[in-house]
Amino acid sequence: MSIVADSNVTIAHLGIVSGIIDKLGICEYIDRLIPKKRSHIVTHGEAVKALLLNCLGFIERRLYLMPEYFL
**pLDDT tens digit sequence for 1-33:** 455 555 555 566 777 888 889 999 999 999 999
Nearest to 59 by CA among 17, 19, 6, 1: 6
Calpha distance 21→5 (Å, rounded): 24
Q: What does the pLDDT look like over 39-67, one tens digit per residue?
A: 888 889 988 888 888 777 656 666 565 55
CA distance 35 to 30: 8
| Report field, pTM of the whole predicted structure over 0.85 | no
